[in-house]
Structures are given as C-alpha cells and as structure tokens.
Structure 1
Amino acid sequence: MNKLCQLLNIQNEDDLFESITNTFKEKITQWDYFVNWKKVLANIAPIEKELHLLNFLIGKDDIETEVFNLIKEYPKIVKTFPVLIAIRELSVDVLIDTSDFIYKKYNFNCEITDEICIDLTEFFIHSGLADLIKSKHVTNFVDYVLGVEVGLDSNGRKNRGGSLMEAIVEKYVQETCEEMDIAYIPQATTSKIKDTWGIEIQVDKSSRQLDFAINKNGQLYFIECNFYGGGGSKLKSTATEYVKMHETWNAQNIFFIWITDGAGWKTALKPLREYFDKTDFLLNLEMLKNGVLKEIPQYNGL
C-alpha cells in the first residue's frame, strides 16, 4: 500500500488520488506575480539619460537628419535602440534581400563611425521608430520604455509562478521544521548538504538542486514543488523525471516528497497517477494546509 495511504489511514488508493486531484488550486496569483517592478526600474536606470536625449526628436520634421546628428553627437543613445523595439540582443540580423537571402547586421554595441552612424539611422527609420515619433503617440521615451519593460517582464511570469509556489511551500516547511525542531535547507545542493550536515549524497546529475532538504536526526527528506496552471507536455515529462528521482533517493534511504498543484494536471492525470502508483509521497497545497507535511517525519510506519 502507498505510504501516504498508510500515513492518512486511507485503505483505497483510488480514493486518495481522487482526493488529491479534486482539490487542486486553479491559481496561486499573488501581488508580486504581475510585474517585477524592481527589475523593470533597474533596467531603465542605466539608459534613462539617453532616453531623455531621444525626447529631443519628438516634434521634429526631418527625423532622419536629426537621428543621425543625435547619434553622431551622443553615441551612447544607441544602447537604447534594442529596448525601443522590445528586444534584449545587442545586435540584430535583418533580411534585406529575399531573392538572394542577404542579411545586414546592426550592432548596438560598437564604436560609432560615420558609416555605422548611417546604418543605425537607417535602422531607426526602417524599424518604425521614426513613424512612431511622427504619429505623436510618444511624448516621453522614458515612459515609453517603462511600458516596453513591463511587457517584456510579462515573459517572466512563468518563472514567477514557480517562485510563488516555492514561497508558499516554504512557509509550511519552515513551520514544520520549527515545530519539530529540525533543520532544513532551501535550494539544497550536494555541497550545501555536506557542508551543513556532513552527509554525502549521490546525485543523478551534477547540477541537481532541490527545492528543500529536511534533516531529522540524519534522516533526509527531499522536497520538490511546482505549480501548473495550464497543460502541456512538460507535465508528463516532469512526472516521469520525478519517478526516477524518487528511485535515486529511495536507493539512498532518502524520502522524496513531491508537492505539486494546479489545474493543468486535469489534462495529465495519467502520468500523475503513474507517479502516484510508483512512489510514496504526492502532496498538494490543500494537504499542506491540512497539516499532512507535519505528519510525515513523525510516522513510525516509514
């Protein structure tokens, strides 16, 4: 019988799995999920002066001449060009001839010669930035880039979702360890575990980093956690990977606890059930709320 069933005194594994999957949370959105304002403002700070210089172009008629002269006099404004078109790269290759597939490279991090100045003026014009200025929709480039940075930052929401899950789980890990007077390490690696507790472990890959490691009198418990708001192939591959991870830790007398949640699992119940059937501890946030994590290190039946 599944160890979790023994722990919770549940005779039917189907009932336990159904209970887990029926209590998945739809979302764990918190205030710091939407925008990482600290990062956004930090990205603007190094180029704020140059953005103010670009404001000189607003209202000008001969944009091409003014851009050339501005680059010539203040070459550092070029470092603002990537973010103006919402990219992070320091150079771009543009296909300028589709017949012979000829590309032209525009480098935003080089010495500004007259030839480069002409090229970068060309980039500014043909990328649509000149038309944007003429349209009078931009009245301040600092404000404009603030909006661009917010948009670019939205790409990091997937990672923030994972960080939010770790933060929520750590609250329960910390409470459990404080209540039981045992130690834990967040973002645990082999070196951290050895340096802190003097315990050597074998890992399946050198870069392995565990979300949490708990030590109760030399008995280790490893925790991985994640949240999937949407479906996809990642869920199946994660479940498969974690079965192997369980086997790796189990062979070293280490208990592996996987805490996962999210409505995305509704689309991947089969691989999740395979993990459940082959391993010991599959928990979700509702179970943490109900104190299940605190029961695991105390269960003598293990």
Structure 2
Amino acid sequence: MPIRQHRPPSDEFVEDFLENVVPSAIPNDQFIDWHSLNDDIEKYEKQIEAITSLEDVAKEEFVEGVADALMAADETREWIDFYFELVGERGNKYSSLEGVWKFYPIQRAIDAGDREKALDLAGVLQDVGLQYIVDKGNVRDHYRGMLVGMESHARKNRQGLCFENQVGERVAEATTQLQENGYDVEYDDEYTTAYNDDTGQEKTVDFAIFEDGELAVAVEANCYKVQGSKPSEIRRSYNHVAQRMRADGVIFIWITDGQGWESMENVLAESYNDIVDVYNLYQADHHLTDDLVAEFNGS
C-alpha cells in the first residue's frame, strides 16, 4: 500500500507540486566543474607545451612538428584527443567533406611506426585550424575556453548527480529519524534487488533503506529541466515497478522535480494517481520522513 499520509486530490497535488518546483538541480557553484576542468588542463600540460613550441613556424614545419609529437608520444591517443579538442571536436573519429579519420586505427598505425599516418593527421589538423589557434592566442586559455564550452554536455549528467545528492540527503535524514525511533535501519545507494517471483528479473534503484538487513524502501530520483517524452515513459515504468515492489512488501517512492514538469500537468497527475508516493524536494522536506515513520509505526 502507498505510505502517503497527506493525500490531497490530484489537482491539489499538482498545484502544490508546481508551486514549489525547483527549476534545476545544479547549484550556481557547480554550474561549471572547475576542479575537473583544471585537472584536464593539467593532464595535457605536456601537450600544451609541445604545441606552443610550434608558434609562428611555417606550415610545413608545423605539420612536421605535430607528426613528430605523435610519433614520440607514449600515449598516442591522448595526443590525438587533445589536438582535436583544441579545435572543438570530441569522439572516436573526425569526418569532413574530404573523408573520415578513425582515431583507433590511426593510433595503431602510428604506434607501429607509420609516419605517413601521423603526417596525414597532422595535415588535417592544420587544415582545420590548429595552427591558427597556436599562432593567434594562448593555447592554455583557448583550451580552457573550449572545455567551458563543452560543459553544456557534461551538465546533463551533472543535473542527475546533483539531484541524486539532494535526494540522498533526504533519504539519510529519514533513515536517521527511523533509527531514533528505535528501528534497525540503514540506507545505501545504487542497490540492485531481484523481484520475488519466478521471472529472474532485477531492478536497480537509486536509494534503498533496509530494516534488519532486508530491503524495506526503494527510492528513485529524477529531475527534468526540460519537458519531453521522458517523464511520461518513466511514469509508466515506475508504475509497473511500484506494483511489483509493493507485491514484495517493499515501499516504492519516486522523488522528482525540475521545471520540465511545468507543462506536463496531466503526466504529473497520472504519476500521483498511479504511484501515489510521489514527492518533489519541497514535498519530501515536509512529508517524506513523517510518512515513513508513520508507515514503520503501523499508522
């Protein structure tokens, strides 16, 4: 059975949820991961020094110098990745109108002593504009700027991690309160449990609370900064999970938030009607611990 003690009608739940929604889970001081960014710069210090030494040389000398560095490299792929990151490209290959350059086979060829492959790749990098970057600016500052620009991709993952941290704090608080009420409970994250049936299927949940060593509460955490089909897909999936968890005697809770919900009132209402134990961070702060304590107390 659901644990929510405060169960308003779905329209009131949606109104309360949206009035207190957080726009994003990322705090201002984590918008850019400066620590990792500076670690990346330090990681490529040798490459930065090498490419800087080719400032204001002729085109042919630049290509030769890049090829020499590739041939002498202990970790060839690191050098290839760095050169292409300087021109704003990440991945396992570079493609253009002129062709496709797959980094792994090029790396293997260079490691085997194929200087022509190194010269070819160096020529491509010169054509793309690597020499222009070296001649016209500070390579280290340019690379820092490229990493900041690439943060928009990393931020998608950081959104989820930051939200999980927020939810983890609430789960820890609820666990502590249960312990103070005399229950032998503890919590963990990223826990995988098998369903108590003959399907052999398993489910990994973001957080789990155990009582006397047995799974008692499963918590999933999702934050949506933009609207789309994902919340609706997750709602259907979690409705199924919630039913199976409850059949096994496990409480299932979904904590979700983000401005992506603001135009998805119908999906939010369906989530509440189906799963019931749905909270945003504000609602979790005001109800989650009390709901869990009441459930454990048999209220």
TM-score band w.r.t. shorter chain: 0.7 to 0.9
Structure 1 unaligned blocks of 5 or more: 97-102, 192-199
Amino acid at match of 1:209: T
Give 3-state SS (helix, strand or coil) of 1:290's partner. helix
Matched, 1:269 2:270: no
The number of residues matched between the two structures is 281
Q: Which amino acid aligns with 2:11?
A: D
CA distance in 2, matches of 1:230, 1:45: 34
| Alignment correspondent of 1:174 | 172
Give the deviation of 1:123 after TM superposition: 0.7
- CA–CA distance in structure 2, aligned partners of residues 12 and 273 of structure 1: 9
With 147-156 and 175-184 compared, the bigger mean Cα shift is at 147-156
Other-structure match for 1:186: 189
Whether the aligned pair in 1 keeps the contact of 2:223 and 2:257 (CA below 8 Å) is yes
1:45 — aligned with what?
42
1:294 and 2:297 aligned: no
Superposed counterparts of 1:2-41, under 5 Å: 4=4, 7-8=5-6, 10=7, 12-41=9-38
How far residue 54 of structure 1 moved from its aligned partner, in angstroms, is 0.7
Gaps of 5+ in 2: 180-184
Residue 40 of structure 1: how far off its partner (Å): 2.1
8 Å CA contact 2:163–2:223 kept in 1: the answer is: yes
Is 2:221 aligned against 1:220?
no
Q: In 2, are the aligned partners of 1:106 and 1:120 still within 8 Å (CA)?
A: no
- Whether contact under 8 Å (1:34, 1:154) holds in the other structure is no
Question: Are the structure 2 counterparts of residues 152 and 130 from structure 1 closer, same or farther at C-alpha, using a change threshold of 3 Å?
Answer: same
Instruction: Compute the displacement of 1:13 (Å).
Output: 4.2
Q: Any conservation in 1 of the 2:193–2:202 contact (CA below 8 Å)?
A: no
Q: Does 1:249 find its partner at 2:245?
A: yes
Q: Distance in 2 between matches of 1:17 and 1:159?
A: 27
TM-score relative to the length of structure 2? 0.82
TM-score, normalised to structure 1, is: 0.81
CA–CA distance in structure 1, aligned partners of residues 170 and 86 of structure 2 = 43
Deviates more, 1:65-74 or 1:111-120: 65-74
Identical positions, percent = 23
- CA RMSD of superposed structures (Å): 2.9
Letter of the 1:151 counterpart: G
Question: C-alpha displacement at 1:188, in angstroms?
Answer: 1.2
Tell me, in whole angstroms, the C-alpha distance in 2 between the residues paired with 1:59 and 1:209: 55
Alpha-carbon distance in 1 for matches of 2:201, 2:153:
28
Matching of residue 285 in structure 1 with residue 286 in structure 2: no
Give the counterpart letter for 2:144 in structure 1. L
Cα distance per residue 1:131-178 (max 9 Å; x no partner) = 3344x2x12x22322222222233111111111111111112111111
